[in-house]
């Protein structure tokens, strides 16, 4: 988001939420689509023009030329105010985004920027975060791959309950309830 004379460079993905009564913009990260919405900035001339338009439509031709003149002035004035509001919005969100020098994407500093490498996390993934995620995923897979590990992962009371339950009815496969002497489904004696 660098400003050069009359040009403003900013995030490529943004939404203009402006109306004839005020200005607001929403800037999005190119990587994660996280959005930053600027504060609403009212345009007071828009309210005055709306009153002129309403008066012109109620009273007919008497204010017709005044409302035409008001509309022309409003469109020129609105465009100038809109450009100024966009420049202010860019300044407001400047600290939230940075452009990756490698892929040229505008990314949010909060989640998608790898500060030590000076690149976005798409170009330079955060190795510590990836290693932690991979280790956690592997631990879960290992725990569930081994029945004993799964019992330990469930906790001591759940493991004892599983032992008390046995597995399932040998005849129909229905899970065995704790301390049950007969299968609730087929009546087979345990």
Give the pLDDT mean for 96-105: 94
- Name which of 56-65, 114-123, 181-190 the model is least confident about: 56-65
Question: What is the percent of the chain with per-residue pLDDT over 90, rounded to a whole number?
Answer: 35
Within 10 angstroms of residue 143's Cβ, the number of other Cβ atoms is 15
Give the pLDDT mean for 118-138: 86
- What gap in Å lies between CA 80 and CA 46, rounded to an integer? 13
Residue 35: inside a domain, yes or no? yes
Residue 93: inside a domain, yes or no? yes
- Name which of 63-77, 122-136, 174-188 the model is least confident about: 63-77
Summarised one tens digit per residue, pLDDT across range 64-84 is: 444 454 555 568 889 999 999
Residue 147: inside a domain, yes or no? no
How confident is the model at residue 39, as a pLDDT? 92
Residue 89: inside a domain, yes or no? yes
- What gap in Å lies between CA 115 and CA 119, rounded to an integer? 7
| Residue 13 lies in domain | 3-120
Q: Could you tell me the pTM of the whole model?
A: 0.53
How confident is the model at residue 174, as a pLDDT? 84
Residue 90: inside a domain, yes or no? yes
Residue 149: pLDDT above 70? no
Residue 106: inside a domain, yes or no? yes
- What gap in Å lies between CA 105 and CA 34, rounded to an integer? 13
Residue 165: pLDDT above 90? no
Residue 40: inside a domain, yes or no? yes
The structural domain count of the chain equals 1
Any idea what the Cα angle at residue 93 is, between residues 88 and 95, rounded to 5°? 125
At a CB cut-off of 8 Å and minimum separation 6, what does 176 contact? 165, 166, 167, 168, 169, 183, 190
What mean pLDDT is reported for the chain?
76
At a CB cut-off of 8 Å and minimum separation 6, what does 93 contact? 1, 10, 11, 27, 36, 38
> Crossing angle of helices 64-93/44-59, nearest 10°?
160
How confident is the model at residue 114, as a pLDDT? 95
């403003």: which residue's tokens?
A: 8
Summarised one tens digit per residue, pLDDT across range 5-53 is: 566 666 678 899 999 899 999 999 999 988 999 999 999 875 444 544 5
Residue 154: inside a domain, yes or no? no
**Higher-confidence residue: 123 or 7?**
123
Query: Nearest CA to 31 among 88, 129, 103?
Result: 103
Which phi and psi (to 5°) does residue 157 adopt?
A: -70, -40
Helices marked H in 11-126: 44-59, 64-93
């Amino acid at each position: 988001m660098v400003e050069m004379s009359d040009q403003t460079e900013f995030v490529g993905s943004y939404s203009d939420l402006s109306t004839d009564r005020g200005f607001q913009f929403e800037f999005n990260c190119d990587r994660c689509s996280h959005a930053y919405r600027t504060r609403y900035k009212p345009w007071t001339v828009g309210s005055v023009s709306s009153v002129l338009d309403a008066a012109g439509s109620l009273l007919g031709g008497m204010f017709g030329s005044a409302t035409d003149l008001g509309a022309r002035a409003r469109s020129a004035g609105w465009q100038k105010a809109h450009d100024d509001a966009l420049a202010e919005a860019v300044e407001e969100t400047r600290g939230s985004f940075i452009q990756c020098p490698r892929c040229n994407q505008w990314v949010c500093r909060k989640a998608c920027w790898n500060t030590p490498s000076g690149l976005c996390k798409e170009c330079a993934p955060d190795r510590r975060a990836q290693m932690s995620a991979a280790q956690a995923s592997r631990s879960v897979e290992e725990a569930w791959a081994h029945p004993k590990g799964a019992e330990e992962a469930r906790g001591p009371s759940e493991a004892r309950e599983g032992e008390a339950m046995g597995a399932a009815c040998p005849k129909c496969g229905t899970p065995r309830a704790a301390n049950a002497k007969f299968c609730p489904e087929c009546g087979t004696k345990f």
